[in-house]
């Protein structure tokens, strides 16, 4: 069963517009969630983890357990935000604690 | 970037040949992972390791094997490469169970 769903494969916004990348998850325990970003042909980089509640590059994400969501938001998108974004869930309940990744959302920010 | 390197970075090979990809880390992390990245599929786990000589299968392990004889190295072998294994392969490491993972730069493999 898919544990992480990113419903938007592609998302386009104009520079300066707000952006929200959606992530929904299914998990019976207490989840630990992450957002990763991948700029063109580069390695994945950790962007956010929900437990630290930090803001990186202007992005924030709040865990909503009632809606089982962990949407990534930024109030004013920049062209350099264009990238692939992956939401990931940590399976701490298993013996080996792997991460489950969504299929990703390709964000394009137009000038 | 965490001290993770992958080699080779690019490889073109023919169907039926064996291929070995190497992941090397300098972080002394216990957990290591191999993923493949394909359009529309995101990242899929091939195999992972939780210590030297301790490995297990992920969700797309058919046609792949792994070995870890040292903490710092995790090898992925395609026993007989097929065109469906054309992909970008990423290695990742983590220091603790279930925590964030740090990724290598990737290997772009083309099987002709």
Instruction: Dump the DSSP string for B42-94.
Output: EEEEEEEEEETTEEEE-TT-TTEEEEEEETTEEEEEESS--GGG-EEEEEEEE
CA distance B13 to B112: 6
Query: Any idea how long chain B is?
Result: 112
Given pLDDT bands bounded at 50, 70 and 90, which one contains residue B112?
Answer: very high
Selecting from B1, B43, B56 the residue whose C-beta is nearest the C-beta of A101 gives B43
For B66-99, b/e burial (b = at least 16 CB within 10 A) is bebeeebebbbbbeebeeebbbbbbbbbbeebbb
Residues of B with CB under 8 A from a CB of A: 1, 31, 33, 40-45, 48, 50, 56, 58, 90, 92, 96-106
- Give percent above pLDDT 70 in chain B: 96
End-to-end CA distance of chain B: 32
Give A102's contacts in chain B (Cβ within 8 Å): 42
Selecting from A86, A90, A92 the residue whose C-beta is nearest the C-beta of B43 gives A86
Give A103's contacts in chain B (Cβ within 8 Å): 40-42
Per-residue pLDDT of chain A (111 residues; tens, 9 = 90+): 558 999 999 999 999 999 999 999 998 777 889 999 999 989 999 998 887 777 788 999 988 989 999 999 999 999 999 999 999 998 766 656 678 899 999 999 999
At A96 the pLDDT is 61
CB–CB of B102 and A46 under 8 A?
Answer: yes
At A41 the pLDDT is 84
Strands A4-5 and A24-25, bridge-based pairing: antiparallel
Provide CB contacts within 8 A for B49, sequence distance 6+: B31, B32, B33, B55, B56, B66, B68, B74
CA distance A8 to A105: 6
Using one digit for the tens of pLDDT, what is the confidence trace for B9-59?
Answer: 999 999 999 999 999 999 998 899 999 999 888 899 999 998 899 999 998
DSSP state of B1: -
């Amino acid at each position: 069963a898919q544990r992480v769903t990113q419903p938007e494969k592609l998302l386009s916004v104009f520079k300066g517009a707000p952006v929200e990348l959606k992530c929904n998850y299914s998990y019976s325990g207490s989840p630990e969630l992450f957002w990763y970003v991948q700029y063109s042909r580069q390695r994945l980089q950790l962007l956010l983890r929900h437990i630290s509640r930090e803001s990186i590059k202007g992005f924030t994400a709040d865990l909503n357990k009632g809606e089982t969501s962990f949407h990534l938001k930024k109030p004013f998108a920049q062209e350099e935000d264009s990238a692939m974004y992956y939401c990931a869930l940590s399976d701490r309940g298993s013996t080996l604690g792997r991460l489950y990744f969504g299929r990703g959302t390709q964000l394009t920010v137009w000038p | 970037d965490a001290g993770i390197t992958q080699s080779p970075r690019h490889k073109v090979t023919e169907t039926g040949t064996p291929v070995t990809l190497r992941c090397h880390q300098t972080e002394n992390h216990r957990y290591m992972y191999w993923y493949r990245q394909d359009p529309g599929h995101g990242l899929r786990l091939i195999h992972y390791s939780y210590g030297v000589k301790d490995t297990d299968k992920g969700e797309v392990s058919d046609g792949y094997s792994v070995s870890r004889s040292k903490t710092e190295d995790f090898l992925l072998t395609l026993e007989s490469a097929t065109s469906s294994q054309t992909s970008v392969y990423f290695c990742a490491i983590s220091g603790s169970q279930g925590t964030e993972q740090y990724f290598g730069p990737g290997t772009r493999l083309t099987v002709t």
